[in-house]
Chain A
Amino acid sequence: MNDLYLIVDIAGQRALLPAAFVESVVEIGDIAPVPCAPPHVLGLFALRSRVLTVIDTIAALGGERSGQGEKQAVIVHVDGHLYGVLVDDVDDVVAIDGAPSQFRAPLSAGWARYAKGVLDHEGEPLLLVDVAALIAGPLDMAA
């Protein structure tokens, strides 16, 4: 298997997003907040005529909510909806062979929920982000 992944920095952690989900990377600015939404939902952003739901990754990991200002976001497509996942930085698209392996070391509570496994890229272990889980956020909305 030879899959494409996007290497990004999320909350200071280098991680992988499956490229199949990723549409583009954009700078986003004026975000319309969504009152009553869970903290990791930063708000809505208009990308041309489409509305993105902006996911605050740091808040999803249990950190502080991001403030206003220009941010970099990876646009992902999940279940017919568009999301902007905030990232610190976007590095590169890489092809990595093989299935992700389970991690041995216990992860922090936040990452344990959003990481699907570990993939090795040029000797560096990288967490594979479960995009759907990241969007669902820290709270189990179904419960």
Chain B
Amino acid sequence: MDDLLGDFVAETRETLEALSGEIVAWELAPDDRSRLDAIFRFVHTVKGSCGFLDLPRLEKLSHAAEDVLADVRADRRRPDPALVSAVLAVIDRIAELADAIESGRIVADEDDARLIAALEPGAPSPEAEADEAALAEALEAIRIAEEGEEETVSSIVVEAPADRPAAAAAPAGPRAVSRTIRLPVDLLDRMMAGVSDMVLARNELARRLRESGAESNTEVAFERLSHCIAEMRDAITRTRMARVENLFTALPRMVRDVSAELGKLVQLEIDGGDVELDREMIEMIRDPLTHIVRNAIDHGIEPPEARVLAGKPVAGRLHVSARQVGNQILIEVIDDGRGIDADQLVGKAVAAGILGQERAATLSWERKLELIFAPGVSTAREVTAISGRGVGMDVVRANVERIGGLVDIDSRPGQGLRLTLRVPLTLTIIPALTISVGGQHFAIPRSAIDEIVRIGGDAVRMGTLGGADIVFIRGVRVPVVSLGAVLGLEPDGQANLVVLKLSGGARYALAVEAVHDHEELVVKPAAPVVMACGIYGGTTLPDNSRPMLLLDVAGVAEKAGVRRDDQAAVEPAAEEREEELHDKGAVPVLLFRDLDGIERGVPLALVERIEDCFSASVSDSAGRLRLNIDGRLVPLVSCGAPIAEAKVRVLRMRDGNEELAYAIDSVIDIVPVAIELQRSLVPGPVAGVMLVEERPVEFLDAFWLFAQGLGSEPLDGQRPVCLLSDDDPWTRQVLAPLVEGAGYRIIYAPEDGPAADLVIMADGAAGVEQPVEAAAVLRLRRHAEERGASPDSLWRYDRIGLTAELRRHWNKRSA
């Protein structure tokens, strides 16, 4: 059977059961207005449901009864016994048909017309009397049914007098026995409270047992008890829970009807129906949600033509979703309509006298949007049948707040509106983490916790950004909130970070003194004066019997100034952006401040680690900087600015084989970037520049870096060869290391190796006569002043000149 149909049958039957008393009372006092209203509402509801469930018979019956009752309500007719009987006969038939729908029986319909005719003024009374007799019995049966004897209900039909052929013909087939029962919610509440107390008592007992060191037998017995209590608690908790689906099933139909009525095209998406929520909460949210959805279609989503003009898809998109976030259930209604223009709203509020002109000018955008919740403000330009009658968002908000919820609004004019109902999960048992600060314990819902890290751990680095504390956890930047500071307590060294998730995916790290236990806690709503602090989600009694407050992680973030709403609002966009970036080949890039103060970036993959070194371990040898790391010399490259501090931070990079270090000032961030550089025109450490987060960032030319840092030490065969023609101790001990350090392979005789690229010989020496034709010759003279045989000779201790020459020839060879 169709879900909707099933719902209808169940609902009709339930209402009938509830109504049976009313029917009896109405019969006794036909003038009783409230009874009449209750019955009228029932037939009206049945009529409405039948309309869209396509049940013409039921509709006809209920419609006729409704008409008559409407007349009575409008005092056009007096409720005489005949009329009462006729109405009751119709109601009986409705019940019969509802049962028939469920069990698939066929109920003959020939006397429907008779029942309807009986409703007319001056209908034949004898029949009515007969009906009345039948009714008296039926009513008696209903009374018995109320006491729980279902069999009797199905026998109503059988016992009806013979002059009602259709009814008599209806077989008293076995009615599908309902496997559900209805319980008053306060009974469930009492059970829940009882179980909560039981959990507390168990916890207390557990503590006592631990303290007294009970025997293992006792412990086994206690474990069993504990297990039973846990199961029972789960079961009872479940009794109060229902899937949000119950709330969502009516939406498709409603959206279809409302949009058809308004001539709009709406595509409805529903998400998260399997989220469970307190049954009572679901009922409380039903009306607000209905209202919000209607509003979204009526005011939000534009007519098709307007949408086309605005460049949007013809069909408006309406997304309704539910999800659990921490100790809250979030129900979101997002549309891509015209949104709410906060300024227009202000205009209306001013016009309606809700707001003064001067005050209006001082409001922020968010505050202006909040005006939608003020009584008597509607965004509809004209009142339509669907909404815009002034019973609006103020009622929605009031209803949601009554159950301790919140309504958030986020509007982007022209792009859409997002309304979020945040409903708490109170009076429930939630797994929580207890933490402490300033000697006080607090609980945090475990579902809100992403991870717990210790400050000072390997993957964690603290820092500040514009005065705000941040922490890098495995390279990801997370804002830090000091719980001690938020609560105004004296923190005694907050050594732990609890990373919390906010709605929308934003995260922050809560600095606390100590992390204690994971516990299952019974959370109850705190008094309004306590809730008004905005940072607590409820109170709880842990097994030490000292009340503890449950922190509202979103409230704490808000109080600390972590911009929750902004983040939540931009988050989906950001996620998309990230995906988009990923598609475009974005890679994580390390942004850093270079020694010359310029912001530069380098692909993170090239950076092996970031290390702090003493400047003393940097040596300037053979024209290049080298860094002594653990006894090894690693080439150190920098942008050229001198290293001024006693300590230098270096990026250690590896191209797979070779290693080098690049000196920097500080690390800024790691961001995903699709690298698209405006290429630098001159070769150098900078490959090019691009905008990262609206700032120009120079990217290191990794190729150049490695070429620069390691180029002097390529494989033997690729190194330029330098022939040192004088094989004397000075050449071997003094000159050779310098030349070698500049990246040359040294030979001492032309026949030792390949053709030399450069020949260095003592000025005036003639031992080697042009060994290689192409080779350049560098002559060194003994004395600084003397300009001897060759005018272009260098003094042999002219280090600068010498290295410059070596480099010049090296470059020439490499080029």
Query: Which residue numbers of A lie inside 8 Å of B, CB to CB?
Result: 30, 32-38, 40-41, 43-46, 48-49, 51, 53, 79, 81-83, 135-137, 141
Interchain CB contact under 8 A, A136 and B529:
yes
The answer on a CB contact under 8 Å between A37 and B529 is: yes
Q: In the bound complex, do residue A46 and residue B547 qualify as a contact, i.e. CB atoms below 8 Å apart? A: yes
B196 and A81 contacting across the interface, CB-CB below 8 Å: no
A53 — which chain B residues lie within 8 A by C-beta? 526-527, 529-530
Is the CB of B258 closer than 8 A to any CB of chain A? no
A32 to B529, Cβ gap below 8 A?
no
Question: Are A36's CB and B533's CB within 8 A?
Answer: yes
Asked if A30 and B546 sit within 8 Å, CB to CB, the answer is yes
Check A37–B530 contact: CB distance below 8 A. Answer: yes
Whole-angstrom distance between the Cβ of A68 and the nearest chain B Cβ: 13
Q: A35-B488, A51-B539 are in contact. Are A46 and B527 (CB under 8 A)?
A: no
| Interface presence of B739 (CB below 8 A) | no
Determine whether the beta carbon of B527 is less than 8 Å from that of A81: yes
Q: Interface centre among A33, A34, A81, by most B CB within 10 Å?
A: A34
* B541–A32 touching, CB < 8 Å: no
- Shortest CB-to-CB span from B619 to chain A, Å, is 55
Chain B 480-502 per-residue mask, 1 if CB under 8 angstroms from chain A, else 0: 00000011110000000000000
Q: Are A35 and B487 in contact (CB under 8 A)?
A: yes
A113 shortest CB reach to chain B, Å: 15
Q: CA of A36 to CA of B545 in the docked complex: distance in angstroms?
A: 22
Q: Does B548 contact A (CB under 8 A)?
A: yes
B 520-557 contacts with A by CB, 8 A: 524-530, 532-533, 535-536, 539-541, 545-549
A130 CB → nearest B CB, Å: 15
Q: Flag if A32 contacts B547 (CB, 8 Å).
A: yes
| A136 and B529 alpha carbons, distance in the complex (Å) | 6
A-B contact pairs, 7 of them (CB 8 A): A32-B549, A35-B488, A44-B547, A45-B547, A48-B197, A49-B196, A53-B529
Contact residues in B for A136 (Cβ distance below 8 Å): 528-529
In chain B between 351 and 373, which residues have their CB closer than 8 angstroms to a CB of chain A? Answer: none
- B374–chain A nearest beta-carbon distance, Å: 14
Q: How far is the CA of A46 from the CA of B196 in the complex (A)?
A: 14
Residue numbers in A under 8 Å from B530 (CB-CB): 34, 37, 41, 44, 53
Q: Are A37 and B200 in contact (CB under 8 A)?
A: no
Q: What CA separation (Å) do A82 and B529 show in the bound complex?
A: 12
Known: A38-B532, A44-B547, A53-B527. 11 other contacts (CB 8 A): A32-B547, A34-B530, A40-B529, A41-B530, A44-B539, A48-B197, A51-B540, A79-B528, A81-B528, A136-B529, A137-B529
Q: Is B103 an interface residue (CB 8 A)?
A: no
**B529-A141 in contact (CB<8A):** yes
Write out the residue numbers on chain A whose beta carbons fall within 8 Å of the beta carbon of B440.
32-33, 35
Given A35-B488, A36-B535, A51-B539: A46 in contact with B546 (beta carbons within 8 A): yes
In the complex, the chain A residue whose C-beta lies closest to that of B439 is: A33
Interface residues of B in 186-220 (CB under 8 A from A): 196-197, 200-201
Task: Give the top 8 A-B pairs by smallest Cβ distance, nearest first.
Answer: A44-B547, A35-B487, A53-B527, A49-B197, A81-B527, A36-B533, A51-B539, A51-B547
Q: In the complex where A49-B196, A51-B524, A51-B539 touch, is A38 in contact with B529 (Cβ < 8 A)?
A: yes
Q: Range of interface residues on chain B?
A: 20 to 34
| Contacts A51-B524, A51-B539, A51-B541 given; does A34 touch B533 at CB 8 Å | yes
Assess the A135–B527 pair: CB atoms within 8 A: yes
Given contacts A35-B440, A44-B547, A49-B197, contact A135 B539 (CB under 8 A): no
* Interface, chain B (partner A; CB < 8 A): 196-197, 200-201, 440, 486-489, 524-530, 532-533, 535-536, 539-541, 545-549, 559
In the bound complex, CA of A82 to CA of B545 (Å)? 17
CA distance A32 to B524 in the complex (A): 16
Whether B529 lies near A46 (C-beta < 8 A) is no
- Residues of B contacting A37 with CB < 8 Å? 529-530, 533
- Give chain A residues whose Cβ lies under 8 Å from the Cβ of B524: 51
A136 to B527, CA, bound (A): 10
Closest to A36 in B: B533
Query: How far is it, in angstroms, between the C-alpha of A48 and the C-alpha of B528 when the chains are bound?
Result: 21
Question: With the chains together, A35 CA to B546 CA distance in Å?
Answer: 15
Q: Nearest residue in A to B539 (C-beta to C-beta)?
A: A51
Which B residues touch A38, using CB under 8 A?
529, 532
Question: Which residue of chain A lies nearest to B487 when distances are taken between CB atoms in the complex?
Answer: A35
In the assembled complex, the Cα of A36 lies from the Cα of B438 at a distance in Å of 14
Smallest CB separation, B708 vs chain A (Å): 57
Neighbouring B residues of A141 by C-beta, 8 Å: 528-529, 532
Q: Enumerate chain A residues within 8 angstroms of B486, measured Cβ to Cβ.
A: 36
Contact A46 B526 (CB under 8 A): no
Closest to A45 in B: B547
CB neighbours of A81 from chain B (8 A):
525, 527-528
Query: Max chain B CB contacts within 10 Å: which of A35, A40, A135?
Result: A35
The smallest beta-carbon distance between A85 and chain B, in angstroms, is 12
Which one, A44, A49, A79, A83, contacts B549 given CB within 8 A? A44
| Residues on the A chain within 8 Å of B533, using CB | 34, 36-37
State in angstroms the CA–CA spacing of A46 and B533 once bound together. Answer: 20
Give complex CA distance A40, B547 in Å: 18
The complex places the Cα of A138 from the Cα of B770 at a distance, in Å, of 103
Cα of A119 to Cα of B803 in the assembled complex, Å: 105
CA–CA, A111 and B536, complex, Å:
30
Q: Considering the chains assembled together, what is the distance between the CA atoms of A37 and B488 in angstroms?
A: 11
Distance between A4 CB and nearest chain B CB, rounded to angstroms: 25
Query: Do B541 and A49 touch (CB < 8 A)?
Result: yes
Q: How far is the CA of A53 from the CA of B488 in the complex (A)?
A: 20
Find the A residue at minimum CB distance from B522.
A49
> Which of A30, A51, A137, A141 has the most B CB atoms < 10 Å from its CB?
A51
Q: Which residues on B sit within 8 Å (CB–CB) of A137?
A: 529
Cβ-defined contact, B487 with A36, below 8 A: yes
Closest A residue to B198 by CB, please name it.
A49
By a CB distance below 8 angstroms, the chain A residues around B489 are 35
Are the C-beta atoms of A83 and B527 separated by less than 8 Å?
yes
- Is there contact, CB below 8 Å, between A34 and B546? no
**Chain B residue contacts of A79, Cβ below 8 A:** 528
How far apart sit A37 and B545, CA to CA, in the bound complex (Å)?
21
User: CA separation between A36 and B560, bound complex, in Å?
Assistant: 12
Looking across the interface, which residue of chain B has its beta carbon closest to that of A49?
B197
Contacts of A34 in B (CB 8 A): 530, 533, 536, 549
Q: A32-B548, A51-B547 are in contact. Are A46 and B528 (CB under 8 A)?
A: no
Contacts of B525 in A (CB 8 A): 81
List the A residue with the shortest CB-CB distance to B193: A49
Q: Tell me the smallest distance from the CB of A90 to a CB of chain B, in Å.
A: 22
